[in-house]
Homo-oligomer: A and B are copies of this chain.
């Protein structure tokens, strides 16, 4: 009788073997799922950022003409997690020259990030220096304006990477202290005072003389909701190239910034100042280089933001008759997606004859 005691016994036995078979299946599934989650499969991340620009000027620009399309940059970001506390980051940039078909290949980052304990990490290799608002964070979808701001480019000079070791401390909640020892700037100080400031003194990729090391300290304070304060001091005993020049030229950079967000409004402000010693820098009036900017913005909708930016700087502030340069940009960002942005802004400078005035369009993205 199937429904009697014997029937029940038989049914129980069938179920028992079914449950055992299911357990085997479950274990096999769990096993292959675990195998899939092996670190090798997911530990490598391929990222990217890039931007294409259109610039139009009121007056012919000697380098890029009256109007120009510019496939500005394409950047491959390759990172890897070796262990919970051991990561690698790299950034290979392909940068389009403004008026030629040449591409400049740059290696901006190539470093190991080794977390010694929850409050201390070491970065070893080639890394971005901890200074300013833009140097470490310049994906097109995170800032306003088609072109990066001229103050950080010409004064700091961003994007700025060097080789060495950086210790990153988290001494308290919302406080971060970075201390880096790295190869320094190097160039002929007789070339100071030009429009590009210290840009050519960066010893970018490849070999970098370690003759005079640079020391960089940055403190970041983020304990107040919506507010980031940061300040950097950098010191180098001599930026003059010992191979070609003898004038001893110590250099000190002071930089401070604030990034303040209240509801949909945001204000970013930055000041940077170089003091460079030595006879040549003094003679050129380039012993002081300084600049700053103020950038209020308003996120009108979740996808649209408008901004204004007032920039003022001087790469030879002590030279007689050297006026500050000034530039204003006003425009908007439209985020098609949080990581994809279309931009437009108009630009006005204090250069004679309307030079540099015009408008810019841009499309950019990161992932």
Contacts and interface: CB of A to CB of B under 8 A. Distances in A.
A169 interface: no
A147 to B, nearest CB: 13
Interface in A152-210: 162-164, 182-183, 203-210
Interface stretch (A67-75, A272-280, A287-295, A305-313): A67-75
A125 B73 CA distance: 11
Contacts of A44: 46-48, 367
Contact of A206 (B18, B98, B209, B210): B98
Contacts of A16: 11, 15
Number of copies: 3
Which of A4, A16, A48 has most B Cβ within 10 Å?
A: A48
Nearest to A91: B74
Interface stretch (A19-27, A222-230, A251-259, A317-325): A19-27
Contacts of A105: 94, 103, 105
B102 A206 contact: yes
A56 B363 CA distance: 45
Contacts of A86: 336-337, 340
Contact of A71 (B102, B107, B336): B107
A29 B125 CA distance: 40
Given A26-B25, A110-B74, A337-B83, A103 B50 contact: no
A83 B365 CA distance: 13
Contacts of A19: 15, 18-19, 22
Contact of A52 (B4, B25, B125, B339): B125
B71 A124 contact: no
A243 interface: yes
Nearest to A363: B124
Contacts of A143: none
The 5 closest A-B pairs by CB, nearest first: A96-B206, A69-B163, A67-B210, A101-B204, A98-B207
Interface of A: 3-5, 8-9, 11-12, 15-16, 18-19, 22-23, 25-26, 29-30, 32-33, 36-37, 41-44, 46-48, 50, 52, 54, 56, 64-71, 74, 76, 78, 80, 82-83, 86, 88, 90, 92, 94, 96-103, 105-107, 110-112, 114, 124-126, 162-164, 182-183, 203-211, 243, 336-337, 339-340, 342, 363, 365, 367
